[in-house]
């Protein structure tokens, strides 16, 4: 979360609204969903405080007010572990929704074994273990690289699930439950 000081332009069509509500609308429309080079993807703006006194510029019917507000942003980092939902499966890998962005897991990074793609099911199946990852599954993955692509659009994330305790969530829930049962014997 970030605390920001800024000047907000309140257009004439918002003059009938309370000042903070008008500022929140303007700031949300302007920033939410954009990528800031230091903050990452801006997810939400809240706690808006606006100076009652505004300024008017010649030729512009809007008022300009000093403001302060909080920004909730998502800034993925390399080696960070994220959980998300598989939203698409294609022959070269999976697309995983991790909140405000999607990341890709290349087929070579899905499991520690050879996998095959089942296009009818839109799923990947491990040839040795028979484990399946398909659209709708909740998975855990590690960020391998982040590309902000010139700050246009959303960051591109490359993910891996080829490390211990990564992959489909239920795989290691079962594993840890089995391990606890074995320890109690």
- The residue ranges of every structural domain in the chain are 2-74, 81-184
d(CA 39, CA 64): 24
20-34, 49-63, 68-82, 145-159, range with the lowest pLDDT: 145-159
For the domain bounded by 81-184, which CATH number is listed?
Answer: 2.40.50.140
**Cα 43 to the center of its chain, rounded Å:** 8
Length of the chain: 185
Instruction: For residues 107 and 124, give the distance between their C-alpha atoms in angstroms, rounded to a whole number.
Output: 8
| DSSP characters over 76-100 | --TT-EEEEEEEEEETTEEEEE-SS
How far apart (Å, rounded) are the C-alpha atoms in residues 90 and 7?
Answer: 45
Question: What is the per-residue pLDDT across 46-74, written as a single tens digit (0 to 9) for each?
Answer: 999 999 999 999 999 999 999 999 999 99
* Rounded percentage of the chain residues whose pLDDT exceeds 90: 71
- Compute the half-sphere exposure of residue 53: CA atoms within 13 Å on the CB side of its CA: 0
181 pLDDT exceeds 80?
no
Q: In what order do the strands lie in the sheet with 115-118?
A: 115-118, 123-126, 132-134
| CATH fold label, 2-74 | Dna Ligase; domain 1 (3.30.1490)
Is the pLDDT higher at 181 or at 169?
A: 169
Q: Can you give the pTM of this predicted structure?
A: 0.73
Rounded Cα distance, 82 and 139, in Å? 8
Contact 59, 83 (CB under 8 A): no
Q: Is 108 helix (H, G, I), strand (E, B) or coil?
A: helix
Q: Is 51 helix (H, G, I), strand (E, B) or coil?
A: strand
Residue 175: pLDDT band with limits 50, 70, 90: low
Q: How sure is the predictor about 151, in pLDDT bands with cuts at 50, 70 and 90? A: very low
């Amino acid at each position: 979360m970030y605390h920001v000081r800024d000047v907000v332009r309140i257009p004439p069509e918002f003059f009938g609204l309370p000042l903070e509500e008008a500022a929140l609308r303007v700031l949300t429309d302007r920033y939410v969903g954009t990528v800031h080079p230091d903050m990452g993807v801006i997810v939400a703006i809240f706690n808006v405080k606006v100076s009652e006194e505004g300024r008017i510029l010649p030729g512009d019917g809007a008022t300009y007010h000093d403001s302060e507000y909080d920004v909730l942003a998502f800034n993925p980092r390399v080696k960070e572990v994220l959980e998300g939902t598989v939203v698409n499966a294609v022959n070269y890998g999976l697309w995983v929704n991790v909140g405000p962005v999607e990341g890709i897991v290349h087929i070579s990074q899905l499991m520690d074994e050879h996998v095959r793609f089942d296009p009818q099911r839109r799923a990947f199946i491990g040839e040795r273990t028979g484990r399946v990852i398909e659209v709708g599954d909740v998975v855990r993955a590690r960020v391998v690289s982040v590309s902000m692509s010139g700050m246009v659009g959303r960051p591109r994330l490359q993910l891996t699930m080829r490390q211990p305790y990564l992959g489909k969530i239920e795989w290691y829930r079962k594993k840890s439950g089995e391990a606890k049962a074995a320890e109690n014997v």
